[in-house]
């Protein structure tokens, strides 16, 4: 332990050496020059993002969903131009001290530094190459700011696109629910309940996921002291990034091509009849798990985002276990997968070879994705344990996944 570390408390050491948003109370308010620089750097970087939304094929396709004719990329473009007008007014009026630690200024200064460096065209020695590579290597603050910017760009755009898509789907499902309700009659009660329960299940799942992605959208696109969601640190380890990004497109498409989810493959199941009581039971269980999953997102609220530490949340369901969202999402998958394993073996359409193949892939898929989320939880905790606040939290909430067991 260094002498500097030994003279500081754990919290002081974390704030001064790890916490990239820490503001010393003795710091003066930022001057107009720094505020203007922050605004200009933000306009440049956010303008780069908006350009990607329109010109990059993957972003353009991802952000295609619209609400009342306005696509996600159009919406963010409007937000960008509103930011150009409104943000300087807010910054110059309130002069927040956090601007001294502006991530956007750090990123632009880093880019200016490396692009101003004159590359040597002649052959270099090993020592000269190492020296030049060391020059390009970002320092701690620079690497944290760059990765945070990429996290917001990658995950933030996905969340708002999902929110637009889920909202559009919900608006389309409302008329279908109303139409089913209109067809109610005593003679058709059995059919009505079957149709309504299925339609209600699909609509409820969609609404719950809309709540989830909406909360995360707020988390990714906001960062302010008054919201208590300033980023303290970013997980920049290869394992932490790997186990997180493979759970999202486009990487999810690659992993799913090997270990895809076959939850819609229930044609061999007794649940092919949507009126079966076991279908309704599994729907209720699935809804329960995915509801708790959404409440975990709501509990995080403005702190919701991947690969970042924005402070510890200990309200329910995080007062029960440390990773309630992962547990409930995996339990939801199990409820979706169960129909495959309860089949009518006497059915004329039963194919033993097909059943063994699909069920084996399903089991392998559940094992692989369960493992991915297990290691994702471990890498998250390794990152969060740097924060004394989180270390205090795990003393109170001792179980990761199952209360009293694990």
Mean pLDDT in order along the chain per 10 residues (406 residues): 66 93 90 96 97 94 90 96 96 93 96 79 72 87 97 96 90 71 57 62 87 96 92 96 92 67 43 62 89 97 96 96 96 83 71 79 86 96 97 96 91
CA atoms within 13 A of residue 301's CA, in its CB half-sphere: 9
- Tell me the backbone φ, ψ of residue 49, rounded to 5 degrees: -65, -45
pLDDT at 365: 85
pLDDT at 176: 66
Tokens at residue 218, please?
């707020």
**Of 155, 165, 247, 265, whose CA–CA distance to 209 is shortest?**
165
pLDDT at 187: 53
Domains of the chain, earliest start first: 211-406 (1.20.120.1630)
CA atoms within 13 A of residue 303's CA, in its CB half-sphere: 14
**CA 303/CA 221 separation, integer angstroms:** 11
pLDDT at 204: 86
Q: How many residues does the chain have?
A: 406
| 271, 339 contact by CB (below 8 A) | yes
**CA 156/CA 262 separation, integer angstroms:** 27
| 59, 157 contact by CB (below 8 A) | yes
| 8, 85 contact by CB (below 8 A) | no
Secondary-structure percent of the chain, ordered helix, strand, coil, rounded to 5: 70, 0, 30
Query: Which H or E run contains 405?
Result: none
**CA 170/CA 213 separation, integer angstroms:** 14
pLDDT at 26: 85
**3-state SS, residue 274:** coil
**CA 91/CA 86 separation, integer angstroms:** 9
What end-to-end distance do the CA atoms of the chain give, in Å? 33
pLDDT at 185: 56
According to DSSP, the β-strands at 66-67 and 70-71 are antiparallel
């Amino acid at each position: 332990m260094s002498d500097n570390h030994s003279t500081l408390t754990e919290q002081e050491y974390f704030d001064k050496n790890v916490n990239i948003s820490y503001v010393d109370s003795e710091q003066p308010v930022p001057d107009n020059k720094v505020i203007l620089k922050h605004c200009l750097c933000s306009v440049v970087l956010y303008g780069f993002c908006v350009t990607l939304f329109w010109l990059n094929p993957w972003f353009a396709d991802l952000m295609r969903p619209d609400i009342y004719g306005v696509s996600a990329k159009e919406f963010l473009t409007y937000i960008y131009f509103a930011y150009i007008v409104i943000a300087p007014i807010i910054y110059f009026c309130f002069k927040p001290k956090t601007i001294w630690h502006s991530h956007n200024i750090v990123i632009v200064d880093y880019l200016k530094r490396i692009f101003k460096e004159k590359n040597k065209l002649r052959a270099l020695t090993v020592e000269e190459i190492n020296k030049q590579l060391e020059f390009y290597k970002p320092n701690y603050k620079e690497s944290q700011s760059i990765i945070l910017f990429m996290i917001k760009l990658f995950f933030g755009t996905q969340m708002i696109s999902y929110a637009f898509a889920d909202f559009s789907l919900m608006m389309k499902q409302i008329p279908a629910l109303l139409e089913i309700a209109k067809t109610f009659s005593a003679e058709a009660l059995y059919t009505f309940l079957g149709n309504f329960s299925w339609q209600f299940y699909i609509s409820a799942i969609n609404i719950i996921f809309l709540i989830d992605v909406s909360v995360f959208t707020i988390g990714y696109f906001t960062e302010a002291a008054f919201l208590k969601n300033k980023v303290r640190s970013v997980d920049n380890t290869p394992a932490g990034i790997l186990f997180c990004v493979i759970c999202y497109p486009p990487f999810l498409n690659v992993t799913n091509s090997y270990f895809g989810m076959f939850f819609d493959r229930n044609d061999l199941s007794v649940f092919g009849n949507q009126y079966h009581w076991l279908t309704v039971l599994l729907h209720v269980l699935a809804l329960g798990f995915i509801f708790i999953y959404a409440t975990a997102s709501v509990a995080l609220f403005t702190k919701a985002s991947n690969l970042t530490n924005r402070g510890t949340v200990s309200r329910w369901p995080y007062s029960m276990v440390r990773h309630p969202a992962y547990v409930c999402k995996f339990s939801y998958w199990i409820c979706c997968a169960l129909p495959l394993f309860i089949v009518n073996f006497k059915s004329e359409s039963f194919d033993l070879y097909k059943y063994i193949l699909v069920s084996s892939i399903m089991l392998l898929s559940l094992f692989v994705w369960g493992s991915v989320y297990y290691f994702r939880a471990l890498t998250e905790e390794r990152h969060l344990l740097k924060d004394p606040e989180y270390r205090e939290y795990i003393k109170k909430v001792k179980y990761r996944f199952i209360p009293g067991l694990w």
